[in-house]
Amino acid sequence: MSSFSNDIAAVNALRTEQSGAWSAINPESVARMRIQNRFKTGLDIAKYTADIMREDMAEYDADPAAYTQSLGCWHGFIGQQKLISIKKHFGTTKKKYLYLSGWMVAALRSEFGPLPDQSMHEKTAVASLIAELYTFLRQADARELGGLFRQLDAAEGEQKAAIQTQIDNFETHVVPIIADIDAGFGNAEATYLMAKQMIEAGACCIQIENQVSDEKQCGHQDGKVTVPHEDFLAKINAVRYAFLELGVDNGVIVARTDSLGAGLTKQIAVTREPGDLGDQYNAFLDVDQISIDDLNSGDVVIKQNGKLVRPKRLPSNLYQFRKGTGEARCVLDCITSLQNGADMIWIETEKPHIGQIGAMVDEIRKAVPNAKLVYNNSPSFNWTLNFRQQIFDAWQEAGKDLSAYDRADLMNINYDQSELAAEADNKIRTFQADAARDAGIFHHLITLPTYHTAALSTDNLAKEYFGEQAMLGYVAGVQRKEIRQGIACVKHQNMAGSDMGDDHKEYFAGEAALKASGKDNTMNQF
């Protein structure tokens, strides 16, 4: 017996127990509503999506072509439309996730107004957005199933059976969210409390970074300050405890390192014996060897390799690492995180270069053979320029004639139709597949694409609507395209839940229901 049939039988039994008081309750309507609301709580979602991620990770280990992708979404509607679009174009949501970017939460969801990515937004904002995203995705389920139920009621014979099969095999719009907790918004206890909020809202995967919480910076800006490994591992432990307390035993932790671009540390690590983790961290410090006679008032000195050294301390009271140590520090960070509870790693790079990423992964995999990366395909990179430069350098090394190109001016529009530009674009197209194969990248995400698409589409509309095209600017540039491309949102009343509301009104009031979907509903024009 199907779950649908079981629900009908169960509700019918309950109704019978009420001695006629529930006679107006239709068991089939209840069963339909239950199917439309498969996930009752955020924890149900977290457990379900964690299983998906674990399966996907295992499939990637067996075949690196089975990588996963996501787009950052800053509003529930954006996430909903993305998943509706994916189902429309590809027939399945498999290996397609959502990314919740701390950058976009700061810029677009803070009650303080637009903020830089410096962990200044409210601690509750991330969990609130997770809950909002899943509310919209669950509504997408209810909307699509409601449409199928209405088709079922109108169908006959074989057609009815075919629609029932669609209902029985319905694939939910609910997919994993990789959620950015930044640097934990405080100490390990604060990290734990915030992680709990995020998991209870539905997050199965939490990404945390090794910067200081009070001076966190966007990974693509200057001024990044890392913390010693023990501090970071305490926060990884805090997130794991949150998962385990809430019963999400297979929750996923992504440990991000910003060491490639972070040349500063706030603390000198505690070390107990030569070669321990603290000693390895301190070994990267930029130091001067001194004698006792060289000491000045307030100097901080440590013993390193039997020598007295003075770490270089800036007026900000921060200590700096030696230049050129970023990649080695990234490798140590990643190995340490993976060996101490993290499931995956994230290396924030300054450019999308497979050779650079792959070289670090090769070193990491010497210690952790199945190491996997989550990678930021960042809009902060100038992808066009970076890949044109990479092709230029490769051609130069191969001895190809480059007299037609100026490396310093490769963004010039005059190169857009060139052979070099075409080759660069092809490398951008295959970047994700190539990096999954050659650089251990399991998940490719774009942090803030919908921030940019919102700006771009609004600019295009404003230019036309407030210009000479006036109303045609909207009609030709938006509505007609929606119709031609089969964008469900063109029926915006339906997308907002009008038809579902009509269904419910009929359940609640029967023939007395006042419905919105009559002949005078202008949505019938579409």
> Annotated catalytic sites, by residue?
218
Strands 264-265 and 225-226: parallel
Report the C-alpha gap between 60 and 359 in whole angstroms.
Answer: 19
For 285, the 3-state DSSP assignment is: strand
Q: Are 120 and 111 in contact (CB under 8 A)?
A: no
8 A C-beta contact, residue 172 and residue 38: yes
| Amino acid in the structure at residue 415 | Y
Q: Which residue has the tokens 């300054």?
A: 350
Using CA of residue 400, residue 403, residue 408, residue 412, what is the dihedral sign? Answer: negative
Question: How far is it, in rounded angstroms, from Cα 361 to Cα 438?
Answer: 9
Task: Report the interhelical angle of 431-438 vs 419-429 (nearest 10°).
Answer: 60
CA neighbor of 458 nearest in space, from 474, 482, 479? 474
What residues pair up with 373 in beta bridges, in sequence order? 345, 441
CA angle 51, 52, 55 (to 5 degrees): 85
Three-state SS at 200: helix
What is the chain's alpha carbon radius of gyration, rounded to the nearest angstrom?
28
Residues in the chain: 526
Strand ranges (E), 258-411: 264-265, 287-289, 302-304, 307-311, 319-320, 344-347, 373-376
Residue 196's φ and ψ, nearest 5 degrees, are: -60, -45
**What tokens does 419 get?**
């052979």
